[in-house]
A = this chain, B = another copy of it.
Amino acid sequence: MSKKTTIYDIAEKLNITAATVSRALNGNPKISEATRQLVNDTAKEMNYEQNKLALALKSGKSFNVGVIVPRIDSNFFASVIRGVEDELYPQGYHVIICQTHDQKSVEIENINSLLNAQVDGILMSISNSGPEETRNFDQLLKKNVPLIFFDRKEKIPGVSSVTIDDFKGGYQATQHLINQGCKRIAHLSNNRKIEIFEKRYLGYKQAIIDNGLEFDESLVIETMSKVDEGRKSTKILLDMPEPPDAIFSSSDFVALGAIQEIKSRGINIPEEFCVVGFANEPFTRFMELSITSVDQSPVEMGRIAAQVFLEEVGNSKKIKSERQVVLTPELMIRKSSLKSSVLAK
């Protein structure tokens, strides 16, 4: 029932003015030690708590940052958010979550909504699907609200981004398969209009070429990131006259589907067929036949995105710095691609 105490309440009780209370509370040096004590004590006594909203209105800083992701119940995005929160909370910031469910229209809504809420910055991973509308990033940029992309980005001048080197991830994975003695490596990609998938594909392709293997475009199939879709695409691959002897998938779920299909045909993994996934989803490590995968260090990604944000707000507002941080992915080698015959060498 009790209304929240304000500085006026303390001022009244002490027969001083609100300004003095404010100063005392904020450790202003021109306040006498006596008053400071008195104020602090009564503040505690009256359960005073600063109303950040008023402060925010006055100062123009809300100490809230928005994070926009396709969905939050995905290990990757949840981990990024964890990184962001871990980094920003100690600096006094709160993290507001918005989900786009992968629809661009919602994305725009989210941005406006966050802008209305006067967030001090927005960190986001852009969505894929939906019509190719013009996103209103311009408007956002005009308002001088720092915008930082992570994972999936768009190239916009003045906008920083934190991503991983997807090309390298694809290259590493493929090189590893080649090192295992695989000769005919297929690639289960995803919609290659999306930059990250295109890059993984390019890394894969380059590794094949660099190693003097034959590059066969028919071994590349775009596959939605679902277990069943992985099975379907793998069926196609295995039914080819000259089937592959390895798969590099840009999704762990697809890799799992592939493994299921391969096993069901009595083909031995990894001895006869190797599989590598992407994203290092928790389950890849738990499987009996653990799955080799490319780790994207999502927590780190979140932390760094947060740091970039802090830099940008720290800057005098005039200087538009633009940073493109690219993290190096790490291949987690597990059973699905580790031939004991190669180990023995």
Cα distance, A273 to B296, chains bound together (Å) = 38
- Shortest C-beta distance, A64 to chain B (Å), equals 7
**In the complex, A31 has a CB within 8 A of chain B:** no
**In the complex, A310 has a CB within 8 A of chain B:** no
**In chain A, residues 96-120, which have Cβ atoms closer than 8 Å to a Cβ of chain B?**
96-99, 112-118
**In chain A, residues 61-78, which have Cβ atoms closer than 8 Å to a Cβ of chain B?**
62-64, 71-75, 78
Interface readout for A271-312 with B: 1 if CB under 8 Å, 0 if not?
A: 000000000001100111100000000010000000000000
- Shortest C-beta distance, A87 to chain B (Å), equals 12
Cα distance, A144 to B4, chains bound together (Å) = 9
| Number of residues from A at the complex interface, CB < 8 A | 54
If A97-B81, A98-B94 touch, does A52 touch B143 (CB 8 Å cutoff)?
no
Name, among A86, A94, A95, A96, the residue most crowded by chain B CB atoms within 10 Å (CB to CB): A94
Q: Which residues of A contact B (CB under 8 A)?
A: 1-2, 4, 47, 49-54, 56-57, 62-64, 71-75, 78-79, 81-82, 85-86, 89, 94-99, 112-118, 139, 142-144, 227, 256, 263, 282-283, 286-289, 299
Q: Which 10 A-B pairs have the closest CB atoms?
A: A283-B283, A78-B78, A73-B82, A73-B79, A73-B78, A53-B118, A52-B116, A94-B96, A283-B286, A53-B57
6 A-B pairs besides A52-B116, A94-B98, A97-B97 with CB distance below 8 A are A52-B117, A52-B118, A71-B82, A72-B82, A94-B114, A96-B96
